[in-house]
Every structure is written in C-alpha cells, then in structure tokens.
Amino acid sequence: MIVDCAVYRDGHRTEGPDDFSDALDAARAAGNSFVWIGLAEPTAEEFDLVTAEFGLHPLAAEDAVTAHQRPKLEEYQDALFLVLKTIGYHPADRTMSIGEVMVFVGDSYVMTVRHGSDSPLRKLRSELEKQPDLLRLGPAAVLYAVFDLVVDSYLDLATTLQGDLDELEADVFAPGRAQGVAERIYAFKREVMRFRRATLPLQEPAARLLRPDVPFVPEQLQPYLRDVADHLTRVNELGEGLDRLLSDILNANLAQVSVQQNNDMRKISAWAALAAVPTMIAGIYGMNFTHMPELHQIWGYPAALSLMTGACVWLYRAFKRAGWL
C-alpha cells in the first residue's frame, strides 16, 4: 500500500495533487521539484499501477514485489534501483529478522518500497524534511538518507553483537562452564553470517555510487556518499572481526572439551590400574595349587593383603604426582 506521497519543491514539502501520476507531472513541470512516494509491502496489482505511471523496468518491478533480493545497485535506462537489507535484532533469543528496503530514483521522483516489520524508514521522512538544504539536491538525497540510515543501523547492531559476544566468550572460559556452549556459539555464528550477507554485498554499490557517471546522483552528494561508504567499510570490518573471533572461540571450546576428555580418560585409566593390581594378586593366590609358595604359611594371607594395599598406595601416590588423579 502507499504510505505517503508528497511533492518537494526547493527542499520543502508542498501541497500537491493527491494522485501520484498528477503529482509527478506537476513536479516535472516545476523543474526544481520531485515526488517521494513510499510503499509498504505492495501487492503485484498495486505495484503494476505505479510501474505503468513511473515507467519502471519490469525486472526491477518484479524484484520490488517479490523481495528476497540480494543487496545490489542496478542501473536502468530511466532509473537507479538500490536494494538494502534491514535487520531487526531480538536480544531475548539472539536472533535476527531480515527485511528489505528498495529505492527507485529517476527523473523527478524517488520511490521507497519496504518489506518486513523492522524497517528503519518510519521516521525518516519527518527527519529529512527538517533538512531542506539536503532535499534541494533532488531525489538522490533521499537515496543517500535511506542508505545512511540503514548503514548506521548496521553499526548499532554490530556494537550489540560485540557485547553479546563478550558475554559468550566469558561463559566459554568460565571455570564452571554451562552446558550447550558449543550450540550457542554455532547459533551466534549463524546470525553473524546472516548479518554479513546483508552488509558485504553493499560494498560494491557504495563504490559505484561514488563514480561521476552514475545518473541522477549530483556531484554535491559525493561527500555524503563517501561518508556512508566509510561507515560501511567499518561495518564490514566489525563483521569480519566477529566472525573470526567466533571461530577462535569455537576452536577454544573444542580444545577445552578435548582436554577435559583426556583428563577423564587418565582418571579412568588410573582407577583401572588401581583395581587391576589387587585383582591380579588375588587371582594368583586364588588358584589353590598344592605347591604354591607360601600357601601353607600362617602369615601368607596377611602378607597378600599387605602386598595389595602397598601396591595400591604406591600407584595412587604415583598417579597423584603425575596429575592423573
């Protein structure tokens, strides 16, 4: 559905025709104006009306309706088409929900299409209307503002993920480690991978928007777009650092598990050795052969018990010194 449609003249919102087709004609006739139309999860039938009026490329129109696109920047004959992923983070279960924002920029118009409930665009229009100097730069100013808002949300999320990772790291190396740590690490790593799938592909569109031959992007916007590109680079560096640290923590956890298993095996082996010595001695003296040494001596039974006890005490002290017990 159409969330809002307005005409902006000389950086200020103006009263215009209610019909977006008439609003576009009025903006083009004025020469220093553009139409900003915002849509939220439009159906194919709803978007067909917009496509016909704005002359959008059929492939871009199909992407805008179906969503689930990879972040990208497409240049068509009459428009620029930018796809961004929006991310909502749920700290309770440390999971993410992924949405999309698509921006069309063309002759005297900009169109934003959002999918998902975690869109950061709800307050963008009102905030941007407080910056007429920026809106005077035309429809590409809205593209910049959307791009900047999404990338800034990535930075905030990366900071949150770093805090959660520090907490997870403390749990891994705590003396009494909780159960299921490996599962938590793997689940966290999967969410970081989803985060990086949203941010990494944007590096190429950010670089392309800085080229002087990109249509509908005035030169005055280049410093703003460079700032977004710098922030995006920082986001990707943070994402890479999170991914590497998670891999290191997972390897450290596996090493801890392996060490613990070796310790357990050494203890089992030590106790088995302690049980084997008296069993062996008792087995020999339980054979009841007629000519066994010391079999008919009165001190034979206490001597056998003393031998078992002494052997076990010696083995116990030897294993204790070696750290096996």
Along the chain (325 residues), what's the average pLDDT of each consecutive run of 10 residues? 82 79 81 87 83 83 84 90 91 85 91 82 85 92 94 92 86 69 84 92 93 90 94 94 88 72 72 73 64 62 72 74 68
What is the rounded distance in angstroms from the CA atom of residue 295 to the CA atom of residue 284?
11
Of 143, 114, 86, 83, the residue nearest 2 (C-alpha): 114
How far is Cα 85 from Cα 73, in angstroms, rounded to an integer? 12
Nearest to 199 by CA among 221, 229, 164: 229
DSSP alpha helix (H) spans, 32-131: 44-54, 58-66, 124-128
By DSSP bridging, strand 33-40 and strand 109-115 are: parallel
Rg (CA), the chain: 35
Q: Are 116 and 135 in contact (CB under 8 A)?
A: no
Of the candidates 4, 6, 5, 7, which has an alpha carbon nearest to the alpha carbon of residue 32? 7
What is the model's pLDDT at position 125? 87
Distances (CA, A) of 173 to 160, 241, 247: 21, 19, 15
Predicted pLDDT of residue 206: 94
Instruction: Give phi and psi for 215, each to the nearest 5.
Output: -70, 155
Query: pTM of the full predicted structure?
Result: 0.78
Listed residue (145, 142, 164, 141) closest to 153, CA to CA: 145
Instruction: Give whole-number Cα distances, 122 to 62, 169, 189, 260, in Å.
Output: 24, 35, 30, 52
CA 59 – CA 127 distance, rounded (Å): 31
Q: Is 103 helix (H, G, I), strand (E, B) or coil?
A: strand
Which domains, from first to last, does the chain contain?
Answer: 2-256 (3.30.460.20), 263-322 (1.20.58)
For residue 245, count other CB atoms closer than 10 A to its CB: 17
